[in-house]
């Protein structure tokens, strides 16, 4: 597919249309918005309603912090905001505000904190190093399917207690729920995939009520807010959020990381030679990939930004895809720099809704970088990279690569 790299005029772009992101390189477009229209109106199009677009880093951060004038409880992505609201509002962490959000967040943080996830992190390390070693020794692989498609899904499935035989099915559904690999898949297919995930977890919750385990689902079943136990729907909706968030964003970030390193041998060399700290490199990988292009809010109280009146009920979208390239915050934002510090990226959002799974995502990316560094001397892309189709997520669905072997590294015995 040929991508148009010329900057389209702001009034000609529909950010609600998934084809917009497949057909254009929008870097110049975002720069135009940041400079000339930091609060931009995306008019109704294609049967979809209109919405406001925030493109500057600091405006996005300020809106994330402001839970008085803006709410998540009418949805937090375009597909639900434009569809009239999110059925999980007030029950699913991502679309719940106020006291209940605080209490649900405390429940989930108990099982997603660094201390609790120590054993999970060790398992991620073992599986990642095994997969990378095998790919190096095999001479090539579809990194998207064979590696990135397995690490995050395995990790979050282990936490939720999803049986191994069900994981490929869930991966297929998560790939369709908010994005797609196939142009023939439409919004109805995506809605069916979301419903399939919900129904799957409804069955799993019933099983765990009868036979509890030591997984997150069993923990949620045993939890309560203000003395009221979580309902089956509460548990199911939060499992849906965890499986989508735990798989999609980490998987797409990993694929983008390898794709980017293959095209930038000078950055690969800095990683290979230990010139950059792994934690610093992880943050730049996240900034660069920005797999979640936006999150959304609805206006609760009339407020003003850059002289523009935002009225109650209107939709405001916060575009990480632009904010993570803002020249006002990042030096040379168009450069992929594994040694970048400071790095105030917003890949995990900000404020009260900062991603509860951020620690786990960073562990997965760090282990990938270390395994590549230890077992490979270089990365070569061997086939065309295929992009997903979405107005919410960005990334690749296929990436064929050859990992050139580091024979000294391959001699190591993992403990």
- pLDDT band at 232; cut points 50, 70, 90: very high
Is the pLDDT score of 358 beyond 90?
yes
How many of the other CB atoms lie within 10 Å of CB of 395?
26
pLDDT band of residue 321 (cuts 50, 70, 90) is: very high
Q: Do 317 and 54 touch, CB atoms closer than 8 A?
A: yes
H or E element, residue 65: helix 57-65
The DSSP code for 300 is S
- Please answer whether residues 12 and 33 qualify as being in contact, where contact means their C-beta atoms are separated by less than 8 angstroms: no
The mean pLDDT of 11-29, rounded to a whole number, is 88
Is 85 inside any structural domain? yes
Mean pLDDT of 314-342: 98
Q: Is residue 415 part of a domain?
A: no
The parent domain of residue 264 ranges over: 10-410
* Distance set, CA 46 to CA 12, 49, 64 (Å): 13, 8, 28
CATH of the domain at 160: 1.10.630.10
Helix (H) or strand (E) holding 378: strand 376-381
Examine residue 202 and state whether it is found in any structural domain, yes or no: yes
Query: CB of 300 within 8 A of CB of 70?
Result: yes
Distance set, CA 29 to CA 12, 33, 192, 276, 284 (Å): 11, 6, 33, 31, 22
Chain segment 233-252, per-residue pLDDT in tens:
999 999 999 998 888 899 99
pTM, full prediction: 0.93
pLDDT in tens, 151-204: 999 999 999 999 999 999 998 898 888 776 666 667 788 889 889 999 999 999
Residue 381's beta-bridge partner residues?
401
> Which tokens in the block code for residue 155?
């990790």
Instruction: Report how far residue 19's alpha carbon sits from residue 71's, in angstroms, rounded to the nearest whole number.
Output: 28
Lowest mean pLDDT across 12-16, 100-104, 282-286: 12-16
Report how far residue 267's alpha carbon sits from residue 276's, in angstroms, rounded to the nearest whole number: 9
- The answer to whether position 353 is within a domain reads yes
Tell me whether residue 2 is in a domain.
no
Domain tally for the chain? 1
Q: In terms of Cα–Cα distance, which of 243, 90, 254 is closest to 176?
A: 243
127 within domain boundaries: yes
Alpha carbons 317 and 54: distance in angstroms, whole number: 6
Within-domain flag for 238? yes
The verdict on residue 328 lying in a domain is: yes
Q: Which residue has the higher pLDDT, 8 or 372?
A: 372
**Cα distance between residue 343 and residue 329, in whole Å:** 9
**Residue 70: predicted pLDDT:** 98
More confident residue, 116 or 314: 314
pLDDT at position 9 is 66
Residue 148 DSSP code = I
CA distance 208 to 25: 46
């Amino acid at each position: 597919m040929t991508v148009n790299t010329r900057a389209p005029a702001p009034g000609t772009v529909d950010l609600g249309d998934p084809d917009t992101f497949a057909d254009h390189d929008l870097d110049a477009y975002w720069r135009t918005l940041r400079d000339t229209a930091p609060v931009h109106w995306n008019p109704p199009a294609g049967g979809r309603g209109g919405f406001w677009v925030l493109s500057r880093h600091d405006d996005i951060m300020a809106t994330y912090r402001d839970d008085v004038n803006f709410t998540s409880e009418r949805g937090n992505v375009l597909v639900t905001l434009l569809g009239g609201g999110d059925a999980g509002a007030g029950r699913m962490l991502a679309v719940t505000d106020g006291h209940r959000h605080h209490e649900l967040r405390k429940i989930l943080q108990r099982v997603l904190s660094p201390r609790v996830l120590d054993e999970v992190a060790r398992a991620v390390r073992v599986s990642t190093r095994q997969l990378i070693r095998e790919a190096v020794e095999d001479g090539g692989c579809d990194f998207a399917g064979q590696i990135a498609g397995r690490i995050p899904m395995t990790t979050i499935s282990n936490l939720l207690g999803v049986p191994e035989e069900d994981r490929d099915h869930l991966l297929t559904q998560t790939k369709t729920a908010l994005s797609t690999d196939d142009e023939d898949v439409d919004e109805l297919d995506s809605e069916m995939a979301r419903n399939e995930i919900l129904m799957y977890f409804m069955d799993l919750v019933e099983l765990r009520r009868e036979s509890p385990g030591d997984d997150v689902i069993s923990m949620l079943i045993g939890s309560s807010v203000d003395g009221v136990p979580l309902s089956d729907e509460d548990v199911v909706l939060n499992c849906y959020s965890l499986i989508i968030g735990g798989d999609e964003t980490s998987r797409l970030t990993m694929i983008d990381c390898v794709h980017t390193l293959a095209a930038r041998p000078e950055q690969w060399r800095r990683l290979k030679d230990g010139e950059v700290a792994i934690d610093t490199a992880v943050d730049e990988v996240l900034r660069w990939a920005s797999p979640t292009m936006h999150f959304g809010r609805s206006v609760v109280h009339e407020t003003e930004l850059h002289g523009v009146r935002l009225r109650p009920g209107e939709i405001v979208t916060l575009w990480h895809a632009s904010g993570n390239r803002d020249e006002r915050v990042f030096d040379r934002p168009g450069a992929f720099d594994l040694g970048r510090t400071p790095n105030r990226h917003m890949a995990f959002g900000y404020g009260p809704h900062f991603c509860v799974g951020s620690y786990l995502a960073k562990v997965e990316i760090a282990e990938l970088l270390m395994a590549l560094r230890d077992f490979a001397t270089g990365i070569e892309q061997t086939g065309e990279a295929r992009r997903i189709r979405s107005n919410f997520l960005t990334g690749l669905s296929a990436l064929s690569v050859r990992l050139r072997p580091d024979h000294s590294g391959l001699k190591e015995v993992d403990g």
